[in-house]
A and B are shown apart, each in its own frame.
Chain A
Amino acid sequence: MRINKVLAVFKKDYREMRRSEKVWTILIPSIIIVIVTPLINLLHPEAMTPQTQQQIEEIIAKPPPEIAPEIQNMSPEQALRYMIAIILAMPIFTFFPLIVSVPVATDSFAGEKERKTIESLLAAPITIKELLLGKMFLSFSLSVCTTWIDFILYTLIVNIVNYPLFHTVMFPNIFMILFVVTFVPLISFFGVSGTVIVSARARSMREAQQLAGILILALIPIIAVPLISGLFLSKIFIILFSLFLLALDIILFIISVNVFEAENLVIFR
């Protein structure tokens, strides 16, 4: 494995991506969502759906043992705002890594195939694994960095909006930090590996995006159930779920390395 070649692919893809309008249509809305969502929901809790309101009220009434000490000294309004900030952040920062990584990875893999640039690349002195890693590295790092930057923005907005009520920094807590540090890279990697697998076989970028979309849909129930049931408010659950995702990532990575073959990239079956 020659890291200079991996970096050359990374650098080339980064230059290409920077000049692609498509990437900005993904990144800019993600930033807007991060800014607008807490503003609306924290300033106007009544704007939330009745189900979410009910869920938050239930958690406040019967807080998980690890949250209880944090909210026991808060006023009801503080507890409500605090829980809203956490409950909103979880789905946002669970699905953002997928929303960013999948289109970027699709453009990088299936796009190269569709634009017919792959052929001379495959005839150049770079191994398939180096090429694969260079490409995965870009999609992965972009997804993780964007989501972390979004998280920092979200944290700033939440604290600014809530400062008059808390007079201190109230967000993030240890769960959220653990959640973002472990989950975001694992989910990003899942999105990138999954996209590699479908892109290697897809005939076009559109087909790859559709197949990757199906892959995301398959992941939604796995993540949504613990999110809705509040299981993510437990450190143990976050660690166990991270290990599960890690195992899933390793399996997907092994599959993606094996399906990413020169022949699959130049021959449409």
Chain B
Amino acid sequence: MSAIFVEGLTKRFGQLTAVDSLTFTIRKGEVFGILGPNGAGKTTTVRMLVCILKPTHGSATIAGYDILKEPEKVKKIIGYLPENPSLYERLSAVENLDFYAELYEIPRNVRIRKIKELLEFFNLSNRKNEKVGTYSKGMKQKLALARALINDPEILFLDEPTSGLDPKVAKTVRDLISKLAKKEERTIVLCSHNLAEVEKLCNRVMIINRGKMVDIGTVDELAKTLRDRSRCIVKVKLEEVSKRIIKELQKINYVKSIRVSGNSFLVELEDEDLIPEFAKEVTKVGRLISLNPLKPTLEEVYLGLVEKDENK
């Protein structure tokens, strides 16, 4: 079942097309990453999905509710953490959360318990009555996350959730995101520049550039797209590597290059499909210990796809 369904979503500001005909679906319980360079249209896309901006064209449904016809219902079931913590600095943490809980019409007794739980979880209880203006950047980010969770949202939109957090707290947040998606089946839309984080957390990723979708899929699928379009590298480990073996392998017509490092070497092949054949050739010339295709990191995939799009 799709939690988010987006069709032809477009946003124009005068002559500028910030988001151009985006179409995608996000399944329930999925952690979905949106990647793109600055100004690619990530924030505008999210702002349309959380009903802050109205699309110029196209439509979207969030848990079955239309963002144009039923914005109030959409807002009730989502949590949103914008890029900026967006907190009231003259108010305390409790007052910030209490205000939002009132807007979500959470009954008073539930509200008090929920605020207490969230502040304890994010380790903010000891300063809960102090003005937020006196908090560190990390504390503000934690409080903003707590606010996004105040209504137990079905769907969470998180823009740079670990920005400004120390590694320990960032891990807590990542664990929380995983838990919310896996155990509680919440859908999470994550915008981040931290590619390692996206790779670790997201089931699928959408890369956008200049408002348009460049590609969408799992990290492996995106890597395959990139490989199909460019190169395939395998790491080969032999019991013993000699100049003779390297020379023999270099004679193979689909081997583009070989780089030796100790008793292993990196081989660039023309195509991924040639790996089994190449493995046979290797066993003919030496004692093979391992042969593994090198999986590009999300960063390599991302940079490769964006660069390709820029060169269009």
Contacts and interface: CB of A to CB of B under 8 A. Distances in A.
A122 interface: yes
Interface in B257-280: none
Interface in B58-79: 72, 75-76, 78
A125 interface: yes
A116 B13 CA distance: 20
Interface stretch (B80-88, B240-248, B300-308): B80-88
Contact of A262 (B53, B82, B131, B157): B53
A267 interface: yes
B47 interface: yes
A247 B84 CA distance: 41
Interface string B122-149: 0000000001000000000000100110
Contacts of B13: 267, 269
B53 A266 contact: yes
Contacts of A11: 99, 102
A12 B53 contact: no
A125 B88 contact: no
Given A16-B91, A262-B53, A127 B72 contact: yes
Contacts of B103: 5, 8, 124-126
Nearest to B44: A267
Given A8-B99, A19-B131, A122-B52, A266 B47 contact: yes
Interface in A97-126: 115-126
A82 B105 CA distance: 54
Nearest to A117: B86
Given A120-B86, A123-B51, A12 B72 contact: no
Contacts of A4: 102, 105
B119 to A, nearest CB: 18
Give the interface residue-count category, chain A: 20 to 34
Interface residues of B, number: 33
A20 B90 contact: yes
A263 interface: yes
A15 interface: yes
A12 B78 contact: no
Interface string A165-200: 000000000000000000000000000000000000
B99 A12 contact: yes
Contacts of B102: 4-5, 8, 11
Nearest to B13: A267
A32 to B, nearest CB: 25
B61 to A, nearest CB: 17
Contacts of A119: 47, 52, 80, 82, 84, 86
A170 B87 CA distance: 51
Contact of B52 (A8, A16, A19, A266): A266
A235 B157 CA distance: 59
Interface string B96-129: 0001101111000000000000000000000000
B237 to A, nearest CB: 52
Contacts of B76: 125
Contact of B82 (A19, A120, A269): A120
A124 B86 contact: no
A15 B92 CA distance: 10
B54 interface: yes
A123 B75 contact: yes
A267 B56 CA distance: 15
Listed residue (A4, A120, A126, A262) with the most chain B CB atoms within 10 angstroms of its CB:
A120
25 contacts: A4-B102, A5-B102, A12-B91, A15-B91, A15-B95, A16-B91, A19-B91, A19-B131, A115-B89, A116-B82, A117-B86, A117-B88, A120-B82, A120-B100, A120-B147, A123-B50, A123-B51, A124-B103, A125-B72, A125-B75, A125-B76, A262-B52, A263-B53, A266-B47, A267-B53
